[in-house]
Structure 1
Amino acid sequence: MAPHPEAAALLARSHRLGSDPRNTNYAGGNASAKGTDTDPVTGSDVELMWVKGSGGDLGTLTEAGLAVLRLDRMRALVDVYPGVEREDEMVAAFDYCLHGKGGAAPSIDTAMHGLVDAAHVDHLHPDSGIALACAADGEKLTAECFGDSVVWVPWRRPGFQLGLDIAAVKAANPQAVGCILGGHGITAWGDTSEECERNSLHIIRTAEAFLAERGKPEPFGPVIEGYAALGAAERRERAAALAPVIRAIASQDRPQVGHFTDSEVVLDFLASAEHPRLAALGTSCPDHFLRTKVRPLVLDLPPTAPLDEVVARLKELHAGYREEYAAYYRRHALPDSPAMRGADPAIVLVPGVGMFSFGKDKQTARVAGEFYVNAINVMRGAEAVSTYAPIEESEKFRIEYWALEEAKLQRMPKPKPLATRVALVTGAGSGIGKAIAQRLVAEGACVVVADLNADNAEAVAEELGGPDKAVAVAVDVTSEEQIADAFKAAVLAFGGVDLVVNNAGISISKPLLETSTKDWDLQHDIMARGSFLVSREAARVMIAQELGGDIVYIASKNAVFAGPNNIAYSATKADQAHQVRLLAAELGEHGIRVNGINPDGVVRGSGIFAGGWGAKRAAVYGVEEEKLGEFYAQRTILKREVLPDHVANAVFALTGGELTHTTGLHIPVDAGVAAAFLR
């Protein structure tokens, strides 16, 4: 069933506005439309409002993301409004205004849309509008910029009273097309969807032009000597070295996923003389600081400072940041305030290098960084024409620890078992490695798909959901340099690495007398040496980020079972199996667990078997290649064929949170081969 024409127009307008970051940030702002429809109960006309619901994003809004309310009931709430001290109670009252099933949950801004006397309303968070809203003399600048066509509304926390304020402003200023909300954003309206969109864009573009024409050329001041950005390669090298340390800083209260950006906007800001003062003032727009925290942690050393000094200073600054945040909480907390949610920074700024942002998953971390870029743009605009003056700290606290915000957080789905964990899987472009990567992503992990075949790795990463879920790296595990580069890519993509699966391998099946030294060396270089190199690099990262970790080896039944014509492969699997024991003993003091899995007979979906190994093993056993899986199954105790998914299940069993006290273990995934029982 097609949406109501007014709702359809609203969706189209929302997509256009939300697709341009100059208009509003991700998931920021909302839009509405009013119209008449038939009441299915009475058959009479009923006035309705469609408005973006809580938690949606304008750029990707669907009909299911709209809340649908009856306007007569919405407007009747004015008569029972108990006053600003109890305005939060009105959010629950919106549920009694819903039409039919009501669609999405109404957001805190619903009153703004319902009470303003206009058929269409947009509430947006454009950088240009917020720059005026956060300027010290924002009201005066708004009048200079727009005359009387856009009206200033002083800061008020989002809610029912703000809706009443804007409705009153519109009624008192019939010539106005919208307003600047102090410390917050903009609201525009119109009789039609087209007029409303036109008015929104007029406010945004006019503010942009005003800031560009009136603004001073260097609003952030001159470049600090020695603080200019490092070259691209050098800054990414340093960012990769710092990422695990910074992730440890951001994850003291709870593990976080990271994101790194070295965009020109960030680097220019951090090179400027005014960046320490401005960063300390914190972000202003509620959408910003709910994701970035009140202020970032800023390194106060130049880009060329020795790395060990930078690490030591970051740890000192972190201790101070936590103390300051706890003091901020104590200054403003009331007896009924939610408990402090954690005192670690969400944004860490490193001059000359870039910005690290953190969140409960990659998307949240990335969006936090995007919001801080918005904040930099706001600071630039405000400083260009005035002085940046965000809302008071007490008001920030009221929003950060708002009971309604806490309730929203409590409604969030329970995290998946591997949420916040970053995995790197070698040989993940096909077969067992691909199945492992799929299972880890399904359980909430971010995955680095590492494979010799770059095309296969890219295809798997895309299939897993793209950059917010998985990234691809091409790596030859016999190369120390390529392995180091793979881990650098991992920490720059997700902040660190928590879970490594040594799965890459080949199989050379030959009798002893036909096995050349080249065969032997290649087999051992890829699996024994490769696993050692990967595990060594993994340990470096895991120790630096102080979050423990898991290293899993995909070994083989052949690690303990002596089969025919298989000397090179079986010997290297035995090497891997003992690496598990050795590393479990050595890395346990760092909370790093090392375990192994011994599969057997994984024919279907296996890259190794498809690459010629299957034909050779079939010849050894005198069976047709296509029946090799059945043959292996029949020689097992359970008479079941082993598939890549079964190996992936074992990886999850070891790393999913239930076996927290298990290390040095090998789990057989072979459907039962008595000769390979561990003893």
Structure 2
Amino acid sequence: MTTNKTVEELISRSNRLGADKRNTNFAGGNTSAKGTEKDPVTGQDVELLWVKGSGGDLGTLKAENLAVLRLDRLQALKDVYPGVEREDEMVAAFDYCLHGKGGAAPSIDTAMHGFVDAAHVDHLHPDSGIAIATAVDGEALTSKVFGDKVVWVPWRRPGFQLGLDIAAIKEANPQAIGTILGGHGITAWGATSEEAEANSLWIIDQAENYIKDNGKAEPFGATLPGYSALPEAERRAKAAALAPVIRGLASTDKPQLGHFSDDAVVLEFLAAEEHPRLGALGTSCPDHFLRTKVKPLVLDRPADASIEDSVARLKELHAAYREDYQAYYDRHADENSPALRGADPAIVLIPGVGMFSFGKDKQTARVAGEFYINAINVMRGAEAISTYAPIEESEKFRIEYWALEEAKLARMPKPKSHATRIALVTGAASGIGKAIATRLASDGACVVIADLNLENAQKVAEELGGSDVAIGVQADVTDEAQIAAAVQEAVLAFGGLDLVVNNAGLSISKPLLETTEKDWDLQHNVMAKGSFLVSKAAAKVMIDQGMGGDIIYISSKNSVFAGPNNIAYSATKADQAHQVRLLAAELGEHGVRVNGINPDGVVRGSGIFAGGWGAKRAAVYGVDEQELGKYYAQRTLLKREVLPEHVANAASVLTSNELSHTTGLHIPVDAGVAAAFLR
């Protein structure tokens, strides 16, 4: 899409507004500009509307995220509008107003931007503006705070009629620079891009200053005894202990990924006496509750409650939450309503500890938490100057189970094979481990890169997409405390753990008489003991979640094949191979599958071979080290060299639903070594 000055100004303004979360939340709100361009067919000037398309984010908005519509055709839709009862039909009509290929799909708010008689329009969701919009006396407050420069608009669901309403208000109030949308947010406009932005920021600042200057000191009430935040280390340890249980509960209907936040805003809210009442009222802005559901699940226990008591109470509250949500659906659903999408909470609040938020992927879970922090800020502002009064429950249902929202969800791409799964791969900063982590991430999993070298682990995590996809942690697998810390980081980053790959390893190639006790202990500590410790820590999380899981051992063909000068390495690989069988037998009742992969020597890209093992094995076989991969290939039935990616392929298949009924299996990835055939 080519850009002109009008579009460039619109994108710059949008990015500035979206970069500051006090102005609007992620993917929330929309901006627009009107201008002219040459129609390539007629050569005549045509008036156009550029407006943020459906699903875009102001902070990262680009030209391709804009919908482009002919203004004359959009205005003509007023003549065929069948009325508010059928306003949803008008969304499909926007497609007939597109200019050229039209850019992004037009959003539900397109009418607001097209009908308001101003060259530039902003619709935003600032916490301060929504605080006034959700105050029980919001209309009177709007007049008091802004005078006649900002006009109150009673709550109306976003859509065609709301666009007509705001247009009529602007026409009737030429002195106005914007509106407060009851229960929802703000809209502002201007003759230039600069004026629209200045007007938006003036409304936000004016609301903020009014609340600050006139609000109560303790809008959430006094601090509840025993509900203050625990010390950081203690609250994170408790969060990690509760996280798998909470994720399992939140995934009753379908698997979810999680995000943990102990933001001061959340901890302060949960320490105050009014948090149960306000939590039960739920959120108000449509963007908020579409992400957070109508209300959170709030644990009614003090900060120092035991893990056992907290878990037992969370299970009771979760059952009650599901019943309550089903009743909410039943109260408002009719024969045309979409089916219930799931009755589990998206937000779970633990006093003294923090907030767990959930979604179909890590970004969705994280953003849901950010939105609830917005909601807390809104409640604080409204309670400071008035009383918080969100939109009616029936209106929330009309948006949550809106046919247009259902259609939007239906257009989402099919999830990848490992979507919603959380994997921890040891020795993942290089070689086979890195290849497995890369493959699992490409399959849709969130991945914890565990490695002795923290810097390299973090580098790989960044390469895979950053913290919404992967994190890097330091872990010496021979140290139980470091493994516990790595698992804690995993569950706090993503909510739990579904898949572990025991890949960390090393090898020392020596004849029996040259193999020292130190050589033996080192290899057994890293691979046999290390795999045991990692599997033990992971199994605890998987059992607490109640969602099953996978444990994979990267063993070796040497676990069954007796090669020369390899006593310590092959013996520890045989230990790992039998751990697979033992754990498969023990963990099956919990739905945890345990399988192994037996590669042949992986030379290219292997950290073990690069560390001297390759030279030693080459010497054993009497070949040049550079030819070792070819040597290994020629002794196989398929005459093919084994690469890290081939092992990663096996890990992907073994942990997919395609082999959902397979456990206790070892898959050879050796291009065919007859002596290593499993019997």
Q: Provide TM-score, normalisation by structure 1.
A: 1.00
Q: What are the Cα deviations for residues 142-198 of structure 1, in whole angstroms up to 9, with x where unaligned?
A: 111100000000000000000000000000000000000000000000000010000
Structure 2 residue 426 is the aligned partner of structure 1 residue 426: yes
Aligned pairs (5 A) from 1:538-553: 538-553=538-553
Structure 2 residue 623 is the aligned partner of structure 1 residue 623: yes
Q: Which residue of structure 1 lines up, in the alignment, with residue 366 of structure 2?
A: 366
Q: What are the Cα deviations for residues 211-237 of structure 1, in whole angstroms up to 9, with x where unaligned?
A: 100101100000001111100000001
Aligned pairs (5 A) from 1:148-163: 148-163=148-163
Aligned pairs (5 A) from 1:480-495: 480-495=480-495
Q: Which residue of structure 2 lines up, in the alignment, with residue 592 of structure 1?
A: 592
Q: Which residue of structure 1 lines up, in the alignment, with residue 336 of structure 2?
A: 336
Per the TM alignment, residue 239 of structure 1 is displaced from its structure 2 partner at its CA by 0.3
Structure 2 residue 61 is the aligned partner of structure 1 residue 61: yes
Q: What are the Cα deviations for residues 69-128 of structure 1, in whole angstroms up to 9, with x where unaligned?
A: 000000000000000000000000000000000000000000000000000000000000
Separation (CA, whole Å) in 2 of partners of 1:220 and 1:513: 74
Q: Which residue of structure 2 lines up, in the alignment, with residue 647 of structure 1?
A: 647
Q: Which residue of structure 2 lines up, in the alignment, with residue 101 of structure 1?
A: 101
SS state of the match for residue 659, structure 2? coil
Aligned pairs (5 A) from 1:498-647: 498-647=498-647
Separation (CA, whole Å) in 1 of partners of 2:195 and 2:304: 53
In structure 1, what residue type is equivalent to 2:521?
D
Separation (CA, whole Å) in 2 of partners of 1:459 and 1:510: 34
Structure 2 residue 301 is the aligned partner of structure 1 residue 301: yes
Separation (CA, whole Å) in 1 of partners of 2:201 and 2:306: 48
Separation (CA, whole Å) in 1 of partners of 2:242 and 2:310: 9
Per the TM alignment, residue 305 of structure 1 is displaced from its structure 2 partner at its CA by 1.1
SS state of the match for residue 358, structure 1? strand
SS state of the match for residue 270, structure 1? helix
Separation (CA, whole Å) in 1 of partners of 2:611 and 2:208: 59
Separation (CA, whole Å) in 1 of partners of 2:152 and 2:549: 53
Separation (CA, whole Å) in 1 of partners of 2:227 and 2:64: 48
Separation (CA, whole Å) in 1 of partners of 2:59 and 2:581: 51
Aligned pairs (5 A) from 1:397-436: 397-436=397-436
Separation (CA, whole Å) in 1 of partners of 2:458 and 2:92: 47
Separation (CA, whole Å) in 1 of partners of 2:192 and 2:39: 23
Aligned pairs (5 A) from 1:113-132: 113-132=113-132
Q: What are the Cα deviations for residues 357-410 of structure 1, in whole angstroms up to 9, with x where unaligned?
A: 000010000000000000000000000000000000000000000000000000
Give aligned-pair identity as a percent.
Answer: 78
In structure 1, what residue type is equivalent to 2:634?
Q
In structure 1, what residue type is equivalent to 2:517?
T
Separation (CA, whole Å) in 2 of partners of 1:592 and 1:444: 20
SS state of the match for residue 441, structure 1? helix
Q: Which residue of structure 1 lines up, in the alignment, with residue 324 of structure 2?
A: 324
In structure 2, what residue type is equivalent to 1:489?
E
Structure 2 residue 345 is the aligned partner of structure 1 residue 379: no
Separation (CA, whole Å) in 1 of partners of 2:73 and 2:211: 42
Per the TM alignment, residue 306 of structure 1 is displaced from its structure 2 partner at its CA by 1.5
CA contact (8 A) 1:601 1:633 kept: no
Separation (CA, whole Å) in 1 of partners of 2:675 and 2:306: 56
Per the TM alignment, residue 552 of structure 1 is displaced from its structure 2 partner at its CA by 0.3
CA contact (8 A) 1:452 1:474 kept: yes
How many residues were matched structurally?
Answer: 679
In structure 1, what residue type is equivalent to 2:491?
V
Aligned pairs (5 A) from 1:163-178: 163-178=163-178
Q: What are the Cα deviations for residues 18-47 of structure 1, in whole angstroms up to 9, with x where unaligned?
A: 000010000000000000110111111100
CA contact (8 A) 1:138 1:182 kept: yes
In structure 2, what residue type is equivalent to 1:49?
L
In structure 2, what residue type is equivalent to 1:26?
F
Aligned pairs (5 A) from 1:436-515: 436-515=436-515
SS state of the match for residue 500, structure 1? strand
Q: Which residue of structure 1 lines up, in the alignment, with residue 678 of structure 2?
A: 678
SS state of the match for residue 408, structure 2? helix
Aligned pairs (5 A) from 1:204-353: 204-353=204-353
Structure 2 residue 42 is the aligned partner of structure 1 residue 49: no
Q: What are the Cα deviations for residues 505-548 of structure 1, in whole angstroms up to 9, with x where unaligned?
A: 00010000000011001000000000000001111000000000
SS state of the match for residue 657, structure 2? coil
Q: Which residue of structure 2 lines up, in the alignment, with residue 134 of structure 1?
A: 134
Separation (CA, whole Å) in 2 of partners of 1:639 and 1:601: 13
Structure 2 residue 181 is the aligned partner of structure 1 residue 181: yes
SS state of the match for residue 82, structure 1? coil
Separation (CA, whole Å) in 2 of partners of 1:481 and 1:38: 67
Structure 2 residue 648 is the aligned partner of structure 1 residue 667: no
Q: Quickly say closer, same or farther: Cα 1:531–1:507, change in 2 above 3 A.
A: same
Separation (CA, whole Å) in 1 of partners of 2:4 and 2:47: 12
In structure 2, what residue type is equivalent to 1:632?
Y
Separation (CA, whole Å) in 1 of partners of 2:448 and 2:270: 30
Q: Which runs of 5+ in 1 are unaligned?
A: none
Separation (CA, whole Å) in 2 of partners of 1:455 and 1:409: 39
In structure 2, what residue type is equivalent to 1:218?
E
Structure 2 residue 31 is the aligned partner of structure 1 residue 31: yes
Separation (CA, whole Å) in 1 of partners of 2:428 and 2:318: 37
Q: What are the Cα deviations for residues 560-588 of structure 1, in whole angstroms up to 9, with x where unaligned?
A: 00000000000000000000000001100
CA contact (8 A) 1:426 1:433 kept: yes
Separation (CA, whole Å) in 2 of partners of 1:20 and 1:304: 36
Q: Which residue of structure 2 lines up, in the alignment, with residue 19 of structure 1?
A: 19
Q: What are the Cα deviations for residues 629-654 of structure 1, in whole angstroms up to 9, with x where unaligned?
A: 01101111000111000000000010
SS state of the match for residue 32, structure 2? strand
In structure 1, what residue type is equivalent to 2:421?
R
CA contact (8 A) 1:127 1:378 kept: yes
Range with bigger deviation, 85-94 or 301-310:
301-310
SS state of the match for residue 102, structure 1? strand
Q: What are the Cα deviations for residues 589-610 of structure 1, in whole angstroms up to 9, with x where unaligned?
A: 0000000000012000000000
In structure 2, what residue type is equivalent to 1:116?
V
Tell me which stretches of 4 or more aligned residues in structure 1 moved more than 4 Å: none
Q: What are the Cα deviations for residues 263-309 of structure 1, in whole angstroms up to 9, with x where unaligned?
A: 10000000000000000000000000000000000000001112111
SS state of the match for residue 74, structure 1? helix
Separation (CA, whole Å) in 2 of partners of 1:123 and 1:455: 42
Per the TM alignment, residue 2 of structure 1 is displaced from its structure 2 partner at its CA by 4.4
Separation (CA, whole Å) in 1 of partners of 2:169 and 2:6: 25
Separation (CA, whole Å) in 2 of partners of 1:224 and 1:154: 36
Q: Provide TM-score, normalisation by structure 2.
A: 1.00
Q: Which residue of structure 2 lines up, in the alignment, with residue 91 of structure 1?
A: 91
Separation (CA, whole Å) in 2 of partners of 1:496 and 1:323: 25
In structure 1, what residue type is equivalent to 2:570?
S
SS state of the match for residue 658, structure 1? helix
Per the TM alignment, residue 657 of structure 1 is displaced from its structure 2 partner at its CA by 1.2
Q: What are the Cα deviations for residues 487-506 of structure 1, in whole angstroms up to 9, with x where unaligned?
A: 11100000000000000000
Range with bigger deviation, 451-460 or 588-597:
451-460
Separation (CA, whole Å) in 1 of partners of 2:183 and 2:668: 60
